[in-house]
Each structure stands twice: as structure tokens, then as C-alpha cells.
């Protein structure tokens, strides 16, 4: 186990990556906002099996947070993140400052139309513009062969796949499965903001999804009926406030009335002040 090289500026990171690529090494990138947990670890471990060199970025990106969101309270645990990277044999850790990622006169944005105006995009306007812009910058700085993203952020994954294709980045986007705790709650950096009682209430998200899976397996195809049942189950939690529960086409993200083909069941719920998302894909 050895500590990764730490790079603070885009130019330093780019020079390292260029040298690795010039030497014939395949480079894998795991973009994160830090506060690394076992979900991130699974992305790094997957990348380790498929690449010669691994880069993990740790950058809490201000442009994907709205004015009333938790940018300033988002957990920042760099020393712990460094230990995780060392334990998983990461080669390079890119941890830039905001001023180096967004210059004083930055005015260019990346926006993927048609996929960003539903689900999380409705309640978080501008969020995916910020995500796409920072990921495009990371792609240009690191120039990886592959980039690794979790399926928990299903809409983000679909948007980044479209962006990578449309802008001809030539980078393979590798989707990685959701990592859950023993009680089914999807791992998230935001889980640490939950009180013990709220943490118990968070189980309702994955349980609602599992209920939906069983109902579909039994033959139910009415999306509105299934959404109603999931809504009823989650609303029993005293601190739960539902942002959305939707069943959409997994490719277009268009809402469905009757389930068919590849279906994404996605939900976002505030438990107290903490916003949690979860989802599952079904082949109907």
C-alpha cells in the first residue's frame, strides 16, 4: 500500500496523465466529490481490474448545487479519502481548488437537452449543467480511457453517456452497480447527516423499490398504480417528504403509463433535511 501522487492543478494532472498514456498505459478515472465510502471503493476496485493507472478526483463542484442546497455542509474528509485511495492502490489523486477549475472569466457550459429536464432536473434546475461541465473538464484534463460512475445516480449516468457520445470524447463510460448496506439503504455520502431515527426511515426507499419489483414480477404493469403504492409506503415515515417517484423509459427517461421494455424506477425523498435518491432497473 502506497499513497497516491496528489495533484492540485489541472496542468500538473494533465502532464502526469499524458506521460502515462504516452507510455502505453490505460488510464481509468473515478470522479468523486470526496467523502469516500464503500460505494466509491467498489468503483475504484472495478477500475483497478481494467486499467494500468487509476486517477480519483476529489472535488466538491459548486456549479451543481442550487442556492438552497448543501454545498457548504457537504462532507469534506480529505485525509480519510487519501487513506481510502492508498488502500485501493490509486495512482493519482486529483484535488483541485475551485479557482483552478473555474477561472474568473469562465463562461462555457455543457448542457444535455432532453434528458436533464425530468426527475432530479425538475427540482434541481442547473444541476446537470454543472455536472456535465465539470465532468467534461475532468475528461479533458485526465484524458482517461475509461470513466466509472455508479448506477445510483441513474439519470446522471444516462446524461453523461449521451454527453460522451455526442461530444466524441472516445471514453468508455463504465456503469457500476449500486452498493447497499445490510438493511438495503443505498450508500451515500449524505447518509451521515441522518439521525439514528431518520436512518431507520431511510429504509423505506429500498423497501418501496423491492415492493415494486415483486408487484411487477406478479404481473402488474400500471405505472400509476405502482407509484401510488410506493408513495403510500414512504409517506408513512414521519420525516419523509417525497420529491418524486417515477417510472420512466431507461433510455429516454420519458414517463411511462404502462410498463414495457427497459424501465427505470426512480425516486428522490427528503428525510428531514437530507435528500436521498434510489432506483432500480426492470426488464419488463
40 in active site: yes
Dihedral, CA of residue 6, residue 9, residue 14 and residue 17, to nearest 10? 10
> What is the pairing mode between strands 172-176 and 53-58?
unpaired
Is residue 210 predicted with pLDDT exceeding 80?
A: yes
3-state secondary structure 97-125: CHHHHCCCCCCCCCCCCCCCCCCHHHHCC
> Which CATH number does 5-176 carry?
3.40.50.620
Task: Output the average pLDDT for the chain.
Answer: 97
Which residue of the set 40, 72, 193, 211 is catalytic? 40
Mean of the pLDDT values across residues 94-98?
Answer: 97
The reported pLDDT for the residue numbered 274 is: 95
Q: Domain locations in the chain?
A: 5-176, 189-283
Residue 243: which of 121, 159, 142, 143 has the closest Cα?
Answer: 121
For the segment(s) 189-283, the CATH number from 3.40.50.2020, 3.30.1540.20, 3.30.1300.10, 3.40.50.280 is 3.30.1300.10
Rounded CA separation 235/140 (Å)? 44
191 contacts 202 by C-beta, under 8 angstroms: yes
**Does 189-283 match 5-176 at the fold level?**
no
Q: What are the tens digits of pLDDT across the range 266-282?
A: 999 999 999 999 999 99
Q: Is 253 left (phi over 0), alpha (psi -120 to 50) or beta?
A: left
- Quick one: cell of 143? 484524458
Q: What are the tens digits of pLDDT across the range 11-28?
A: 999 999 999 999 999 999
143 contacts 18 by C-beta, under 8 angstroms: yes
* Residue 79: pLDDT band with limits 50, 70, 90: very high
* Residue 73: pLDDT band with limits 50, 70, 90: confident
Rounded CA separation 239/192 (Å)? 16
- Specify the DSSP class assigned to residue 91: S
Q: Is 260 helix (H, G, I), strand (E, B) or coil?
A: coil
Amino acid at each position: 500500500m502506497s499513497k497516491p501522487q496528489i495533484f492540485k492543478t489541472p496542468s500538473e494532472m494533465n502532464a502526469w496523465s499524458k506521460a502515462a498514456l504516452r507510455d502505453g498505459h490505460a488510464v481509468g478515472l473515478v470522479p468523486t466529490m470526496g467523502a469516500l465510502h464503500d460505494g466509491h471503493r467498489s468503483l475504484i476496485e472495478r477500475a483497478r481490474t481494467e486499467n494500468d493507472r487509476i486517477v480519483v478526483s476529489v472535488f466538491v463542484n459548486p456549479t451543481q448545487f442550487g442556492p438552497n442546497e448543501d454545498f457548504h455542509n457537504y462532507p469534506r474528509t480529505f485525509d480519510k479519502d487519501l487513506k481510502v485511495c492508498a488502500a485501493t492502490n490509486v495512482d493519482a489523486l486529483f484535488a483541485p481548488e475551485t479557482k483552478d477549475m473555474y477561472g474568473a472569466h469562465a463562461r462555457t457550459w455543457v448542457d444535455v437537452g432532453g434528458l436533464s429536464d425530468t426527475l432530479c432536473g425538475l427540482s434541481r434546475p442547473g444541476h446537470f449543467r454543472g455536472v456535465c461541465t465539470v465532468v467534461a473538464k475532468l475528461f479533458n484534463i485526465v484524458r482517461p480511457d475509461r470513466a466509472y460512475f455508479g448506477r445510483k445516480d441513474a439519470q446522471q449516468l444516462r446524461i453523461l453517456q449521451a454527453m460522451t457520445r455526442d461530444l466524441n470524447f472516445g471514453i468508455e463510460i463504465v456503469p457500476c452497480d449500486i452498493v447497499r448496506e445490510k438493511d438495503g439503504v443505498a450508500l451515500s455520502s449524505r447518509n451521515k447527516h441522518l439521525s439514528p431515527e431518520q436512518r431507520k426511515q431511510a429504509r423505506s426507499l429500498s423497501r418501496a423499490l423491492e415492493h415494486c419489483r415483486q408487484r411487477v414480477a406478479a404481473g402488474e404493469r400500471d405505472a400509476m398504480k405502482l407509484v401510488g403504492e410506493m408513495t403510500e409506503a414512504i409517506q408513512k415515515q414521519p420525516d419523509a417528504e417525497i420529491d418524486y417517484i417515477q417510472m420512466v423509459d431507461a433510455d429516454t427517461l420519458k414517463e411511462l403509463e404502462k410498463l414495457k421494455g427497459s424501465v427505470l424506477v426512480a425516486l428522490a425523498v427528503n428525510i428531514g433535511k437530507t435528500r436521498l435518491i434510489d432506483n432500480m432497473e426492470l426488464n419488463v
